[in-house]
Amino acid sequence: MKILRKRIIVTVLILCMTVGGVIFPECNVLEASAEDALYTDNVFELDFNSHDSSKMEIADGWSNGGMFNCTWRSGNVDFCNNNMYLSIKNDYSNSTTRWSGAEYRSNAFFHYGMYEVRMKPIKNDGVVSSLFTYTGPVDGNPWDEIDIEFLGKDTTKVQFNYYTDGVGDHEYLYDLGFDAALSFHTYGFKWLPNSITWYVDGYPVYTATRNIPSTPGKIMMNVWPGIGVDTWLNPFNNVVPLSAEYDSFKYTKIDISGGFEEGLDNDSGYVNWSTDTAWDQYFLESNGSATMVYRYERNDAWAYLTGNLQKQVTNPTNLKMKLNFIDGNVLALTIKVRDTYGNETEIGQVCFSDYQKGIQMFDIPFNYINGTISEIILMVNSNPYQLDLKSDSHCKVEILETLLYK
């Protein structure tokens, strides 16, 4: 959720201070002034060791209003120990808002590519920590935006969203399986003309394909307390100071000039799993990008799951999967791919036992597939008699991510 933002060229002074036991480092007087132009180089990186005014600017002295219950202050953006800290604090006594927030944004505009940030969000009711791209009427553009937002009330989840010409309501809440506020992880999205795919620690977790934004936007990061959105964020409990930590950011341009369908984005995107009704001993449930597979008290046969690829991949070289092995003493997977002519090729086998429960990830390389692949075949077995392992014959596994690529 966002509202329209203003662009301001600022002069920034960050002071050394201690508030509530949190020490903010001394920094220099900084000036930000640059042309707002489309970034054309292949890579754009920030290490957050210090502020680079040739690349970024710091919002200061104004408020978005609405649900943003703060005024942006340059003193809330700090660089210390090779990280950037965006903070929520008390605001000045004569301010129109009680709280101050922080916003950091690029001078240039960015288009299709991979956006990745390594960060730790704030864990606290009523606040948001973010990475997003944004442009709008203040730039003479439609309101286009792509979001990664952490709601401080529950940092075991991350929210993805986007706006196209002001039309939003595309929120998707992804369960991370860990608390993002406790350690650094990498979050990102790949923006293409026909899709946005969000990633967590390098693995795709959700893809949107409808009404995708097309206008270049600025890279932005901010933290703020909300007002009037208690059902979304929970009420802000007035705890300050609060800080989100940003370790690094990287943008990698994707050149689509040769045509989007000509192999410049060589991965399968979202995989939609289904199973034949004949395999009724297995149950399949879908929740967004995750699929749950489970069965109990059966000792016969394999289940054949078919994964229909969002995008066909020609001559793939790798299959990457992320599974959550929840229950059962053994889970065996035989993995095949099927080309557009119906030919099947086995590419590998994996097996997990109860000693390996939880999140399991693997990447299977292969170099003998020639042709265009349209489906993945996943053969699931929890039959201990075929596997000569333990006696229980049940399993419960969540297929979190699957990616066929080259």
Is 34 a residue whose pLDDT tops 90? no
Q: Which of 57, 116, 145, 245 is catalytic?
A: 145
Burial level of 143, CB count in 10 A (0-12/13-18/19+)? buried
- Band (18; pLDDT cuts 50, 70, 90): very low
Contact 276, 153 (CB under 8 A): no
User: How far is residue 104's CA from residue 309's CA, in Å, rounded to a whole number?
Assistant: 37
- Band (8; pLDDT cuts 50, 70, 90): very low
Give pLDDT, residue 206.
Answer: 86
Q: List CB contacts of 393: < 8 A, sequence separation 6 or more.
A: 297, 298, 299, 382, 383, 384
User: How far is residue 373's CA from residue 101's CA, in Å, rounded to a whole number?
Assistant: 48
Domains annotated on the chain, with CATH:
11-253 (2.60.120.200), 271-405 (2.60.120.260)
Does 297 qualify as catalytic in the annotation?
A: no
- Band (387; pLDDT cuts 50, 70, 90): very low
Give pLDDT, residue 266.
Answer: 67
Instruction: Summarize the confidence of residues 227-242 as an average pLDDT.
Output: 96
What are the DSSP calls for 73-110, one per residue?
A: -GGGEEEETTEEEEEEEEPPTTSSSSEEEEEEEEEEEE
Ranking 64-78, 125-139, 271-285 by mean pLDDT, the lowest is 271-285
Is 339 a residue whose pLDDT tops 70? yes
Contact 117, 248 (CB under 8 A): yes
Instruction: Summarize the confidence of residues 21-50 as an average pLDDT.
Output: 65
265/82: higher pLDDT: 82
Is 151 a residue whose pLDDT tops 80? yes
Instruction: Summarize the confidence of residues 74-85 as an average pLDDT.
Output: 97
Does 145 qualify as catalytic in the annotation?
A: yes
Q: Which of 57, 103, 116, 149 is catalytic?
A: 149
Is 374 a residue whose pLDDT tops 70? yes
User: How far is residue 1's CA from residue 183's CA, in Å, rounded to a whole number?
Assistant: 25
- DSSP designation for 50: S
Which tens digits make up the pLDDT trace of 198-207? 999 888 888 8
Give pLDDT, residue 284.
Answer: 65
Share of the chain above pLDDT 90, in %: 49
Give pLDDT, residue 209.
Answer: 79
Which tens digits make up the pLDDT trace of 90-108? 999 889 999 999 999 999 9
Which tens digits make up the pLDDT trace of 252-309? 998 776 543 333 346 777 788 887 655 555 566 665 556 777 665 555 556 678 888 8
Is 373 a residue whose pLDDT tops 70? yes
